[in-house]
Amino acid sequence: MLDEQAISNLLVVLIGIAFYLVFTHLGIVRQFVAMVLNVLMPFIVGFAFAYLLNGPANYFERTVFRRLRCRRGLAVLVTYIIAIALMAILVKLVLPQVADSVVSLYGIVQGFVLNLNEIIRKMSADFNIDQAVVNQILNQFMMSYTDIVSKLSDLASKAIPYVLSMGLAVGTGLVSVLISAITTVISSIYMLLEKATIATQCKKLVYAILPTGRANRMINICSRANNIFSGFINGKILDSAIIGVLCFFLTNILRIDFAVLISVIIGVTNVIPFFGPIVGAVPCVLILLIVDPWQALRFGILALALQQFDGNILGPKILGNSTGISAFWVLVSIVVGGGLFGFAGMVLGVPTFAVIYSLVGEWVHFRLEQKGIESLEHKPE
């Protein structure tokens, strides 16, 4: 019989061989992972929907229908009706206005570029600027503009085959698409209806695989991560919706063009913690600079006010201290998450780092207690 040390050494060797095989056959592994993800995608998306809708479903189950026997089924039904209604409102009211704003903006930008030549020449005549310098500036600008248009056209030409193939796939494989969509919705509904059973089964699996002490630790970590993620995500969605609606009303009051488009940009980017309104304000200010610099100035002040209001009043009221990390670590998690995983990393980096921060903090506290060190807090002189 092998002792525990021999088994551990054997596991280390096997893990090393597995890592070597993975890195030497990375293309095959990537294709296999992509195939598995493609098969499981309806369930992954269904889990994402269920996780997002779990908060409202819990609210209806515990407050509105708490005295009824079928309270969970009614809560899930009402939650999905509200979600579908909100999506219908978005598609019916918001998206057409956003599309109209984009079309109008394209016309304004095109007119601005066409009139720029005349504006610069008039300014050169008023200020006695050498015509050769003006022509050189115009040529460089027009080359840059032509390059931008060329790249956009190239991007559109590359996108058209994908759009056509997608349309062909939808036309010829409509049954497959519908089955995938129906599977996603049904799986999310079953996950919400049977979340207690699924959680119990997962706990049994953890306790069957791990020793009792480590299983308890694993369950505790998962519970803490779930509390941090659910509180943060639900809170940020509500917070971003409020900021987007508030931005829409204020931009209309201040008579700023493209109110719907700007409000959608601000609302979407606001899910980025702390810096969301500023990140969304940059493209909006650039858009408004072409239309009217005074509007850009008014909106810049408005965006700064929204960021302060969200960061100091609305955000703490809704989110509270759901992450438990300071502003510095929020900045670190946003920068690192965004650099590694883009927009999703900027959004989910904060709760992920909060979980890691909490676990590291517990380990550090445990090690300090083992060494008999009570506190290393900095004391001001």
**Stronger pLDDT, 4 or 190, i.e. the higher one:** 190
Average pLDDT over residues 184-193: 87
Mean pLDDT over each residue of the chain, to the nearest integer: 75
Give CA–CA dist 310/319, Å, rounded.
Answer: 11
* Tokens 């200020």 belong to residue: 127
> SS3 for the chain, per residue?
CCCHHHHHHHHHHHHHHHHHHHHHCHHHHHHHHHHHHHHHHHHHHHHHHHHHHHHHHHHHHHHHCCCCCCHHHHHHHHHHHHHHHHHHHHHHHHHHHHHHHHHHHHHHHHHHHHHHHHHHHHHHHHCCCCHHHHHHHHHHHHHHHHHHHHHHHHHHHHHHHHHHHHHHHHHHCHHHHHHHHHHHHHHHHHHHHCHHHHHHHHHHHHHHHCCHHHHHHHHHHHHHHHHHHHHHHHHHHHHHHHHHHHHHHHHHHCCCCCHHHHHHHHHHHCCCCCCHHHHHHHHHHHHHHHHCHHHHHHHHHHHHHHHHHHHHHHHHHHHCCCCCCCHHHHHHHHHHHHHHHHHHHHHHHHHHHHHHHHHHHHHHHHHHHHCCCCCCCCCCC
Predicted confidence (pLDDT) per residue in 135-166, tens digit = 555 555 555 555 555 555 555 555 545 444 54
Helix axis angle, 293-309 to 276-291, nearest 10°:
170
Give CA–CA dist 284/296, Å, rounded.
Answer: 8
Predicted confidence (pLDDT) per residue in 295-347, tens digit = 888 888 888 888 888 877 777 777 666 666 766 777 778 778 777 777 677 77
Q: How confident is the model at residue 170, as a pLDDT? A: 44
CB 38 within 8 A of CB 31: no
Which residues, 6 or more positions from 287, have their beta carbon under 8 angstroms from its beta carbon?
Answer: 105, 258, 262
Give yes or no for residue 51 having a pLDDT over 80: yes
Q: How confident is the model at residue 150, as a pLDDT? A: 55
**Residue 16 has which token pair?**
């090393």
Q: Is the full-model pTM beyond 0.85?
A: no
Give CA–CA dist 60/244, Å, rounded.
Answer: 25
The backbone torsions φ and ψ at residue 227, rounded to the nearest 5 degrees and listed phi first, read: -65, -40
Predicted confidence (pLDDT) per residue in 357-376, tens digit = 888 888 887 778 777 776 56
- Other CB atoms within 10 Å distance of the CB of residue 316: 12
pLDDT band at 113; cut points 50, 70, 90: low
Predicted confidence (pLDDT) per residue in 330-343, tens digit = 777 877 877 777 76
Give CA–CA dist 262/255, Å, rounded.
Answer: 12
Give CA–CA dist 223/228, Å, rounded.
Answer: 9
**Residue 162 has which token pair?**
């994908």
